[in-house]
Amino acid sequence: MRFIHCADLHLDSKMTSNLSREQAKERKMEILRTYSRMIDYAKENKIDGIIIAGDLFDTRNISATARNMVKDSIMSNPQIEFYYLKGNHDSDNFFSKLDDIPENLHLFNEEWKTYDCGSISLSGIEIDSTNESTLYNSLVLDNDKYNIVIMHGQIGQINLNAMKNKGIDYLALGHVHSFRQEKLDEQGIWCYSGCLEGRGFDECGTKGYVMLETVAQHLVPTFVLVAKRTLREVVIEVTETYTEQEIMAQIQGQLTEIPSQDLIKIVLKGQVSPECDLDLLWMKRKLESDYYFLKI
């Protein structure tokens, strides 16, 4: 069996940080299209289920475009089971616009809820102040199944030590926007899938989702890069640099392997010679036409 684990999609983000009005509008649509590409992949490759571990949307006020795209992705793919656990950015606004909850959309609440899908058992809980101290003792899993547990929160808010030795094969987490995967105990691992698209320079690096597949009595995770654009921070050491031309040469040398569709933040670090009169605006204008977005 095969599943996709994604989280922190933040569909309908305004994307106004750093970008022009036109670019922000374009990036907002690109996040929706990236979500759509993930669904297309799932459909074409016969994925059994998609786990959304929180923050599907960015705000309570969901646009009709985003709401209808998500609704259609679920209803037009009844062969795929969707497991949606709300995060701290999500609300019930999405569900209030649905006439009926589709049969292939499985939801969670403040108590542990478990769904079986073939040899896979998926259990999830939405953490709040009423359950965060008791939820670990109330988790009971079927040791005859592959157990996926779904939660949304920071490590610390989620007590990893309390999740050990409970029969978890894969702990699917949301809230952290970068991919991170580590061993939970001798049996299982915990994983943040990260977000599908970076939205600002605090979300640099490769973005995507995790593919989970049952192989030889194990759940094997593989990170899948899906983002249309990557945000990158390039740090240039300029100490003891004497001319603007030297700095430009260093910058251009660092940028040679970066695709033109990416967004770049260049940080000049160090103490330059007093004779080095930097014109950052000129440097930016010389470089920015080669990339979707660039700042120094």
Give backbone dihedrals phi and psi of 281, rounded to 5 degrees, phi first.
-65, -45
pLDDT score, position 202: 93
pLDDT score, position 290: 93
| Helices (H) then strands (E): counts for the chain | 6, 15
pLDDT tier, 243 (very low <50, low <70, confident <90, very high otherwise): confident
Rounded distance, CA 263 to CA 293, Å?
5
H/E element, 156? none
- Whether residue 258 contacts residue 60, with contact meaning beta carbons closer than 8 Å, is answered with no
Q: Note the pLDDT tens digit of each residue in 84-103.
A: 999 887 777 677 667 788 99
pLDDT score, position 101: 87
At residue 37, does pLDDT exceed 80?
Answer: yes
Strand partners, 146: 120
Q: Which of 52, 39, 50, 38 is nearest to 126 (CA)?
A: 52
pLDDT score, position 95: 75
Tokens representing residue 286 in the block: 């010389």
pLDDT score, position 279: 87
Question: What are the CA-CA distances from residue 13 to residues 10, 64, 111, 198, 234 (Å)?
Answer: 6, 14, 29, 11, 25
- DSSP string over 162-196: HHTTS--SEEEEES-SS-EEEE-SSS-EEEE---S
At residue 241, does pLDDT exceed 80?
Answer: no
Q: Note the pLDDT tens digit of each residue in 158-204.
A: 999 999 999 999 999 999 999 999 999 999 999 999 999 999 999 99
Q: Note the pLDDT tens digit of each residue in 38-83.
A: 999 999 999 999 999 999 988 778 888 998 999 999 999 999 999 9
Q: Note the pLDDT tens digit of each residue in 211-230.
A: 999 888 788 999 999 999 99
Up-side HSE of residue 108: CA atoms within 13 Å toward CB? 28
pLDDT score, position 182: 97
pLDDT score, position 146: 94
Tokens representing residue 33 in the block: 């299209």
pLDDT score, position 89: 79
Q: Bigger pLDDT: 231 or 242? A: 231
Q: Note the pLDDT tens digit of each residue in 133-154.
A: 899 999 999 999 999 999 999 9
Average pLDDT, integer, range 252-262: 94
- Whether residue 143 contacts residue 157, with contact meaning beta carbons closer than 8 Å, is answered with no
pLDDT score, position 50: 98
pLDDT score, position 242: 75
At residue 205, does pLDDT exceed 90?
Answer: yes
pLDDT tier, 32 (very low <50, low <70, confident <90, very high otherwise): very high
pLDDT tier, 13 (very low <50, low <70, confident <90, very high otherwise): confident
pLDDT score, position 30: 95
